[in-house]
Amino acid sequence: MTASTTTMNAGGGAELIDGKAMAAGMTADIREQVEMLVRQGHELPGLAVVLVGNDPASEVYVKNKAIQTHRAGMKSFMQMMPESTSQEELLALIEELNENPKVDGILVQLPLPPQIDAATVTNAIHPDKDVDGLGEVNTGRLALGMENGIVPCTPLGCLKLLQSVHEDMTGLKAVVIGASNLVGRPMAQLLLKANCTVTVAHIHTRNIEELARSADILVVATGKAGLVKGSWIKPGATVIDVGITRVQTPEGKSRLVGDVVFEEASRVAGHITPVPGGVGPMTIACLLHNTFQAASRRRASTEG
């Protein structure tokens, strides 16, 4: 294990893995690289974010992505479409963005209205511009352990958080709770690529508590607030909490909590991410990273 500048004491024994600080550092580094690209005479990298409808949570996410894109010195193209948008209309916009040389990355905010099939839309994005990494081509590249794919932002963020604690994860036992295409499955692929022995648990898994307790690395992405108790954690384990649930406080306010009972878990774990301030900021930083990588590759390929 390595001492890291992004960890501090979580209060109950575990070191806190500070995703907010790490994400700020990544964004600053990307900004420097963007400035260098521009000094070399290249166009600014550009990210197109498409929002269909008026889901309030999606509006907040999309706005935040635009702010962070500007913070990294890149261009943001916001495409707002009405709730009534047809699949054909959305596919036509994606085709336009695929062809637009100013756009390096395309992200379609999910969920989409019921008349639109998310998989069809995701797969319509050109693989080189698929900065969410959720299309079939990038999913396949990750599954094959290839280096030329784009990795989904949340699991990539989790991997970077883990790497801030573990210089080498070879031979460690990793358990991922949650098997979604967005988080759990790509996370498992990344951990396998990092030479971990990986088990993926989900809603149908038996003896999940015992399984979790065997993990040196435990990544939890279920959306079930407080699912993982302190007793589920192996002493000294590294715990990455991806879950985000908004709950009401007794004072009538609301706050965000993770899938892990933080107070209990931080007494047992070696390292742990907080919610908020752990995986969330790293997801956006990795979106910026993916956009910058996509831009650099496109510029290199048009020069060559």
Nearest distance, CB of residue 282 and ligand NAD, angstroms: 7
Tell me the C-alpha distance between 2 and 289, whole Å: 23
- Give the pair of three-digit tokens for residue 146: 């290839």
| Nearest residue (CB) to ligand NAD, 289 versus 298 | 289
Q: How far is the CB of 235 from ligand NAD (least distance, A)?
A: 22
For residue 20, the minimal CB distance to ligand NAD (Å) is 12
CB of residue 265 to ligand NAD, shortest distance in Å: 16
Tell me which of 68, 79, 109, 293 is the catalytic residue: 109
Task: Tell me whether residue 52 or residue 182 sits nearer to ligand NAD (CB atom).
Answer: 182
The Cα–Cα gap between 298 and 192 comes to 29
**Nearest alpha-carbon partner for 127 in 294, 278, 302, 3:** 294
CA 43 – CA 273 distance, rounded (Å)? 37
* Count of beta carbons in the 10 Å neighbourhood of residue 166: 18
Quick one: tokens of 176? 């991922």
Residue 69 sits at φ, ψ, to 5 deg, of -65, -45
Q: Which of 18, 128, 132, 259 is catalytic?
A: 132
Q: How many angstroms separate the Cα of 1 from the Cα of each of 112, 117, 171, 196, 203?
A: 42, 44, 13, 15, 31
109 is catalytic: yes
Interaction site with ligand NAD (CB under 6 A) = 154, 177-180, 182-184, 201-203, 208, 221-224, 227, 242-245, 279-280, 283
- The question of whether 229 is a catalytic residue gets the answer no
- Closest CB to ligand NAD among 93 and 130? 130
Query: Of 180 and 296, which has the nearer Cβ to ligand NAD?
Result: 180
Residues assigned a catalytic role: 65, 109, 132
